[in-house]
Amino acid sequence: MFGGEGRKGLNIWDFWDVFWASEENKPGRLNNNQLGSVDFSFRIPKIDKILPVLSSIVVYGELAGEDEAGGFFSRTGYLSGLFLGDLFLTGRTDLRIEYANNHVSGHPNLWYSHSVYKSGYTYEDRVIGHHMGSDAKSLFFLITHYLYDNLMLCTELVSEKRGLSNDVKETTQHVAFGVTFFGQDHLQLKGSYRYEYIDNYEFVPDENQKNNVGQFEVTLSF
């Protein structure tokens, strides 16, 4: 992590020094913040011979944090996931479950922020990471089903809690439905609807919101 709002710009030759962290945590324009992470994915194919309701299982995860704590990460956040492929062995239905948590006790709003790089791990005020943001946890369910070879339906359930270090926490629950049409000549049409309920919006006690969100996308690949 380097640069950003309030920091001096770098030229192309500076990137070598930034990458090797030779000036990490030292005053100056080459000061930077190094992070570390590991991720894994483990697939069990042909699981239908043991569980005759699905064809494969994928277990995956990611662990990340500061890079300097005795040879391993500190102040970590993680994501764990489970993908169940071809539910009911019809070749059309999949289920994905994910849980993420980047709350670090005693360090509120640590993730995606920094005391020197004020804009943090963001671009245009958007976090370059998990959509739940900092000091939060999220539970996510997604079911996709191919009604036809070129028509896919999906249902999504999400429960998130932000500001876990705060006295007042923001909680979001949402359910979404979507349909995707795969046309000819690399054309894709997608429509979705989401209903969400937010409790203690922006950490204001008893400030609640009910939102209806519609979205339509057209994608043409070349």
pLDDT in tens, 138-196: 999 999 999 999 999 999 999 999 999 999 999 999 999 999 999 987 899 999 999 99
User: Has residue 212 got a pLDDT over 90?
Assistant: yes
Q: What is the mean pLDDT of residues 39-51?
A: 90
Q: What is the pTM of this model?
A: 0.87
Helices and strands (H and E) in the chain: how many: 1, 11
Band (11; pLDDT cuts 50, 70, 90): confident
CB proximity list for 201: less than 8 A, separation 6 or greater: 170, 207, 208, 209
Q: What is the mean pLDDT of residues 87-101?
A: 95
Q: What is the rounded CA–CA span in Å between residue 26 and residue 123?
A: 24
CB proximity list for 139: less than 8 A, separation 6 or greater: 97, 98, 99, 158, 159, 160
Residue 115 Rama label (left phi>0; alpha psi -120 to 50; beta): alpha
CB atoms closer than 10 angstroms to residue 18: 19
Q: How far is CA 98 from CA 119, 126, 155, in A?
A: 28, 21, 14
Sign of CA dihedral 84, 90, 91, 94: negative
Helix (H, G, I), strand (E, B) or coil at 203: helix
Helix, strand, coil percentages in the chain from 3-state DSSP, rounded to 5: 5, 50, 40
* Type and span of the H or E element at 147: strand 136-148
